[in-house]
Structure 1
């Protein structure tokens, strides 16, 4: 009897079906289909070699590829194709080696095995394809693709030593129109080392100088808002630009506020602010929940809630989204400047705790929250370089410098002093993280006191 015409026992059928799932072509060889079996083995070996090559050669760049829509589309299609091909081989192999039709129990057992093997192949590849699809959706939704200037891989930063990104926390309320940018921080990142300094500006800076052009012509002596309806603070500039298109001629609605705020803060700090990322405060709470919470050290109990209905006790604890929101927003029994310090700690904690496993475990909910909460003008073409830079940032100590009293008077700011302090802070070269030996006490560092006039390391200060 020829091998291809043999009737296989239950044990042989199970072994060959399972073996074919692990190495394509085993069942075909067992049934005398030598040419087909060897061809399937060759395809399988080529596929495995390709995967290993990609992981080995592109391992350090996989995160960069994960933010490129074209790669994500290719990955989605490839994963679906692999799942279909693999399942086809399993079913084909089962059909060749299944027990005789007369042995109902044995055939049912091998059928169940074939179905289970197909599920084990399809489920993870389908999940990976889904993640790739969701990633592509997030990238194309959040990041624009209208930047026509090509990004040179050798130097995506166009010769700049640092990239400066404005991080904005926006707060909208039902009892007032528009958006107030109550949290404004410029993250200045050294593109070579990832060394990052957060430059914080209080929301209540007065008479801020506006950039040359229509904005300065309207407010030649500094921004004063619309008295007596508004006090004319820095946190009003964003919405004012949106309400008065002539302040930023040629800029589309929705981008007027970011454009004027970036130019204004660039002038205040004396450094070019190229991009912005704005987070809605309530959307931020959803992001924290999607991460599974964020762990922070609370120095003093924090009362929160409109009617003082909540309390965050002192100590190191994991905060929910709502608690994290109040940790960063509450001014009860404190002030704007203490709140700014907590906001920097919160940013630092989220940056450090958003590791790949945390992101992967809650990917879809995190992606949904991110699309709702964040807006930015960072172009898609810059994302691979930005991802690589983010990995460098994780290996350095993030420092913070806030321009608050008594260093800076918010009513009568010394703009020259601010620019001088920024220049000094960015000229310093902070050391990379160093491990602390067991039993060794870390070197004491300054606290988040408003009087700090030089950058402080957030890892040690925030606990």
Structure 2
């Protein structure tokens, strides 16, 4: 039963209201509502204990939960519910202990401020969860095939992702895949090797079926309009549905390119992710720029109107785009190396603070810039795998001259080098740290995998 009504001074009213915001039920206990006060305290302590348990027990798996639409929806609802409940307790507590005379304006402002302190971060976190869910469901396709938690990779020792940089230009129709790299990742250790294919490979063998029947001697493009290079395969499949029968528009290009790259390298390409280079510039701007080391001055712009001086500097999205795109006074192969360096720099500099500060703009830019066939159901396993990748040294092997002639590629040599690269024991970060001695760190050469950091200075 509630105790007798009593009057509270301004100071005591403020103390009890703030105390009830910090520990639910304080005002109720003071006013004789012991049963309600104890119930509120128990609820509050249970809520705090639940949050701490989730953080401590699931800490290593929070990233994998953050890419699951179901969990993100539950998180959004939970945060809204907590904000409403907490604000209700504050207002309820104040109504019990508000001063009998005067200073009502001050205490009302105090209560509104306390509610705002609770609601603002909860609303922000709920907004992040909502935006994350929208990005996941928009960017990643749903998959009806269930993923077995015990073995999400279905027994694969390595999973291979085709990373594509797509570039469209006003003076030419369609999209050209000017950057193509397969990231081959060991599913148990995270050891990763990047296999780079130059855009100007000629007469690439196409997969068996309608594509091979049309081009039995290798892809020839549409002479005299196109030279028949690897970077044309994607758009050719989109323009000619019969090349990939039964596949709908927008998926024909990725399907044929994955099959073609798989045949070139001699390994299955499981998934792809394509980044529109103009959209990539938006992502970098949303991050606030990206810091890279430029070894030689880079001229950029259609009419050589810009220059990126040598040195370590932060680039805007437009400058980074030209850093990865420019071939002035260089060639395709130098550009390929810069593109890998740029991707590496973005990955390293996408720290949690940067992501939180620009999350919404990053999410919008990402949805516009990236397309992929990685299913939503695989994202938790992919998030766990990405943590393993961070702890290993990424190696890179590019099939460029003098190792491979792009005009007359030796397909057997390419597949042999791929097998060698993936069979080599990966070099750990500790082994390549300054002053460390290692007997299995080979000197970089055109036909050996080298670390990405070696290439990027």
TM-score using structure 1 length: 0.95
Distance 2:169 2:40 in 1: 63
Q: Which runs of structure 2 are paired with 1:33-432 in the superposition (5 Å)?
A: 33-100=33-100, 102-103=101-102, 105=103, 107-145=104-142, 147-432=143-428
Question: 2:299–2:306: 8 Å Cα contact kept in structure 1?
Answer: yes
| 1:337-386: CA deviation from partner (whole Å, max 9, x where unpaired) | 00011111111111222222221121001000000000000000000000
Q: Distance in 2 between matches of 1:386 and 1:77?
A: 25
Cα distance in 2 between the residues matched to 1:299 and 1:34: 72
Matched, 1:27 2:27: yes
| Other structure's SS at 1:332 match | coil
Q: Is the 8 A contact 1:80 1:129 kept in 2?
A: yes
Unaligned runs of 5+ in 1: none
Closer, same or farther in 2 for the Cα pair 1:183/1:13, shift >3 Å? same
In 1, distance between residues paired with 2:335 and 2:432? 30
Distance 1:312 1:446 in 2: 30
Q: What whole-Å deviation, never above 9, does each CA across 1:13-71 have from its counterpart, x for those lacking one?
A: 01100000000000000101111101101111111111111111111111101100010
Q: Which runs of 5+ in 2 are unaligned?
A: none
1: distance between equivalents of 2:443 and 2:347?
21
Kept after mapping to 1: 8 A contact 2:160/2:183: yes
Specify the SS of the correspondent of 2:392. Answer: coil
Aligned with 2:8: secondary structure?
coil
Secondary structure of 1:179's counterpart equals strand
Cα separation, 2, equivalents of 1:271 and 1:95: 69
In the TM superposition, residue 321 of structure 1 has moved relative to its aligned partner by 0.8
Q: Deviations over 1:415-436 (max 9, x none)?
A: 0000000000001121322288
Question: Distance between the aligned counterparts of 1:428 and 1:400, measured in 2?
Answer: 12
Local SS of the residue matching 1:187: strand
**Residue 294 of structure 1: CA displacement?**
1.2
Task: Work out whether residues 431 and 437 of structure 2, in 8 Å CA contact, stay in contact via their aligned partners in 1.
Answer: no
Change (3 A) 1:435 1:209: closer
Give me the whole-angstrom Cα distance separating, in 2, the residues matched to 1:166 and 1:229.
Answer: 27
The answer as to whether partners of 1:188 and 1:197 remain within 8 angstroms in 2 is yes
Q: How does 1:440-455 map to 2 (within 5 A)?
A: 440=435, 452-455=446-449
Partner secondary structure for residue 174 of structure 2 = coil
CA distance in 2, matches of 1:461, 1:277: 23
TM-score where L is the length of structure 2 = 0.97
Aligned counterparts of 1:318 and 1:455: Cα–Cα separation in 2: 28
C-alpha displacement of 1:440: 4.6
- The structural deviation recorded for 1:3 is 5.2
SS in 2 for 1:308: coil
Kept in 2, the 8 Å contact 1:166–1:276? The answer is yes
Checking the alignment, whether the CA contact within 8 Å between 1:445 and 1:460 is kept in structure 2 is no
RMSD: 1.6
**Alignment: residue pair count:** 454
Task: Report the 3-state secondary structure (helix = DSSP H, G, I; strand = E; otherwise coil) of the residue aligned with 1:334.
Answer: coil
The CA deviation at 1:442 is: 9.4
* Per-residue deviation, residues 430-453 of structure 1 (Å, max 9, x unmatched): 13222888x859999867xxx611
